[in-house]
Amino acid sequence: MRPIARPEVDTLVDDYQRVGFAYVRQLFTADDLASLIDALDQGGASPGGFSVADSQGGQQELSVWTHLGNDLVGRLSRLDRIVSLATAVVGEPVCHWHSKLSWKRPGTDTLWDWHQDYGFWFAEGVARPDMCTIAVAVTPVTEANGAMRLVPGSQEHGRIEVTQLGEGQGSDPTVVTELVETHGTELCELEVGDAVIFHSNTLHASGPNRSGQPRTMWMGSYNAVSNPPAEPSPAGRASEAIDPLPDEALVNGWPSVFGETAFIDPTEQGLTQGYDTKLL
Ligand SMILES: O=C(O)CCC(=O)C(=O)O
């Protein structure tokens, strides 16, 4: 794993504050992620998966977990290089909110409607949007296979109301249209191991996978320690600052890839967030 030097982090924090997101190219190499890549059934469902409806009648697939075990995915969310980036952009020690895999099978028409993550997290009683997500490409992520689009500067708008969009959920479309027209959008294409870190109020969306290859991203979300949800979370979200693991913990010594991970069942745990949700 390449070293991440202070000037790179400073530039990243500047970008994040200015436009609401920043890239870290080759945060991991494909070799660093090889065991995770091998463990995923790239053409089909990932472990613990469920789907949420989108506005066009599609079902967007993902797996989510909050408890971090000693397995590979439990360690990934606690790695020093991840936690230190989240801490740098949030500006204080962070706790783990949740981690997920978000994937699009080859030739599927599902999409993520325009939304801010904080729109949903606010509904769990979190007072401030001092939260971020780090997305890492597990496959190449391209326009053809459904890369995210982000709206630069949208984090400055503040929270937008979440509204029903067909069977799905997303940010109020009137505000989205205005922000897309005034700020434009940026396509977020990633090579395997590249990362993008984005603010919880940054508007984002992604389109269908029209390619013959799957599109998979790991996403870790983090919250400022001083910003806990109002009620104890039904998902068991953490409230203590993460004690980071050395980066080598990703490649050495873990007992399994997913063996200690308890995947969230959103229907059982009251976390459907208004989406029409199905277990896979
Ligand atoms: O996977 C994607 O394209 C976006 C996922 C996303 O926006 C989310 O999980 O909130």
Q: Answer yes or no: are the C-beta atoms of 280 and 114 closer than 8 Å.
A: no
- Tell me which residue has its CA closest to atom 6 in ligand 1: 112
**In-domain check, residue 51:** yes
Number of domains in the chain: 1
Q: Answer yes or no: are the C-beta atoms of 81 and 271 closer than 8 Å.
A: no
**In-domain check, residue 163:** yes
**In-domain check, residue 73:** yes
54 is written with which tokens? 């989108």
Instruction: Tell me the C-alpha distance between 20 and 195, whole Å.
Output: 14
Q: What are phi and psi of 34, to 5 degrees?
A: -55, -40
115 is written with which tokens? 């939304």
Q: Pick the atom of ligand 1 nearest to 217's CA.
A: 1
pLDDT in tens, the chain (280 residues): 999 999 999 999 999 999 999 999 999 999 999 999 998 865 555 788 888 999 999 999 999 999 999 999 999 999 999 999 999 999 999 999 999 999 999 999 999 999 999 999 998 899 999 999 999 999 999 999 999 999 999 999 999 999 999 989 999 999 999 999 999 999 999 999 999 999 999 999 999 999 999 999 999 999 999 999 987 777 788 999 999 999 999 998 999 999 999 998 877 656 566 656 666 6
- Residue 78's domain comprises 9-279
Q: What is the CATH number of the domain that holds 116?
A: 2.60.120.620
17 is written with which tokens? 């504050």
Residue 183 confidence (pLDDT): 98
Instruction: Tell me the C-alpha distance between 41 and 19, whole Å.
Output: 35
Count how many residues are written for the chain. Answer: 280
- In the reported structure, the alpha carbon of residue 35 is separated from the centroid of ligand 1 by a whole-number distance in angstroms of 23
**In-domain check, residue 1:** no
**In-domain check, residue 3:** no
Going through the chain in order, the beta strands assigned E by DSSP cover 21-24, 50-53, 59-65, 94-104, 112-115, 131-137, 148-150, 162-165, 168-171, 186-188, 195-199, 204-206, 215-224, 277-279
pTM of the model: 0.95
Ligand 1 — pocket residues by CB below 6 A?
Answer: 102, 112, 117, 148, 204, 206, 217
Instruction: Tell me the C-alpha distance between 184 and 152, whole Å.
Output: 7
Residue 33 confidence (pLDDT): 96
Q: Pick the atom of ligand 1 nearest to 146's CA.
A: 3
DSSP labels for 133-194? Answer: EEEEESS-B-TTTT-EEE-TTGGGG----EEEETTEEEE-HHHHHHHHHHH--EEE-B-TT-
- In the reported structure, the alpha carbon of residue 54 is separated from the centroid of ligand 1 by a whole-number distance in angstroms of 12
**In-domain check, residue 2:** no
